[in-house]
């Protein structure tokens, strides 16, 4: 049982790190748009990719919270 708790906790930490990294990448892309004078088509492409990153990060953040809750319940 202890191994299962440790595994779920580690999974939640890994998912949390990945989700935070995707939010960090979203911030970098916003900085690129602000620093460069990009045409509308290129900017729209970056915005679509940024939305995907935020959506992916949000899903991973929710999954990490679920795994963390499972590890606490197993305690």
How many Cβ atoms are within 10 Å of 45's Cβ, its own excluded? 11
Task: Write out the chain's pLDDT in tens, 75 residues.
Answer: 678 878 888 888 888 888 777 777 777 766 766 666 655 656 666 667 777 777 877 888 888 888 888 888 877
**Domain boundaries along the sequence of the chain:** 2-74
Q: Are 48 and 68 in contact (CB under 8 A)?
A: no
Backbone angles phi, psi at 37, to 5 degrees: -90, 95
């Amino acid at each position: 049982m202890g191994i299962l708790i440790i595994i779920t906790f580690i999974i939640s930490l890994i998912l949390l790190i990945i989700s935070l990294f995707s939010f960090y990448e979203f911030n970098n892309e916003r900085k690129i748009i602000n620093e460069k004078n990009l045409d509308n088509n290129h900017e729209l492409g970056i915005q679509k990719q940024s939305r995907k990153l935020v959506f992916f990060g949000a899903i991973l953040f929710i999954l990490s919270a679920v795994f963390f809750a499972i590890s606490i319940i197993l305690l």
